[in-house]
Structure 1
Amino acid sequence: MDEAVSCFDEMLTGGCPPDVSTYTCLIVGFGNARRMDKVSSLLTEMKQRGCPPDGRTYNALIKLMTNRNMPDDAVRIYKKMIHNGFNPTIHTYNMMMKSYFHGNNYEMGCATWEEMGRKGICADVNSYTVYINGHIRHGRPEEAYKHIVDMVNKGMSVPQVDYNKFAADFSRAGRPDALSELAQR
């Protein structure tokens, strides 16, 4: 980060105004270094220089929050993103779902999936992987199974899941044959 800041200062000294991409790179760097004070000051500086965050900046901020298991802060940024006229991407929804499922908020993980559909965003392999693993993680093998079948029917590759947990959940539910049924599909 020292070199990045040095280059940034050199840009300013040389009369080259930073753009949104430059600020976003610094925000990610400081965020990964857990320097949220610097992230905040960079966001303020961006606005003061007439260089407001764009969709990539918002996604970077959401990723910083979700990586720290702070889904409520990610949602706050998500709402700000929409309020400022930027459309969330599939990546935005995948990050938020993963954060909720790992943060033990199953309902909000599912609500994010539904919101994604309402917004007309089609689930990709990563979306399904996050969603299916969320169901498995929260002991809902029937839901996971349903979405794996949906993926297969759409011609998608089946994601890497925790098959041991998946099989154990189905075995407890009286359906030890579920994995062999999926294998046949």
Structure 2
Amino acid sequence: MPLLVPPAPAPALMSVLAALSSPTAVMEIRTPALRNAEGPLDAEHPLPVHVFEPAPVQGGLPQARLTGWRFHIRAGAGVAAAGETVATPDGWVFSRFSEGPYLVSTERALRQAETLPAMYQPHLLSVPGLYMMALWLHVDPRADAATAQPDPSDLLIPLAPAPPGITSHRVHRLVELVPALSPRLAAPPLLGSPA
């Protein structure tokens, strides 16, 4: 069933498009696929990025905090990079372009999610303490992406590479993974983790 992708805030999209139109921003980045891309570049597939935080009550579900939006940057027929924005006190601003295994894995997880029998709202989930990213499929497809919170019926598809003991690209019920995630939610992020 198709996913119901929430609309990105206009300033988030505009900040990525402005960075794409800036020769300096594109040429000075460390993403060879984007620097060497031919043809027009476009931002698509906006996904809200959340960090899971400890549950407010022991044994409860973790809480989600919106930290940014990630857009796939299409160059011709393929995805060359991701454009990321972050929330600041002044609103949404461009953060960086990136590429790597999570980009390819996100595309694969989105295709995987579209084969599920129910409709979900896709989000990206970062668990910095585990150096883990996952596609979070929220059971309420019409929820406000900024305030969506985990539901026991939500699904997670861990992206590759996944941490030891967690299988990437296997659809997990959120409640199955909470015991593995919870001890690390309060841990400080590892150096270089995908927050």
TM-score (norm 2): 0.27
Question: Highest Rg: 1 or 2?
Answer: 1
TM-score, length-normalised on structure 1? 0.28
User: More helix by proportion, 1 or 2?
Assistant: 1
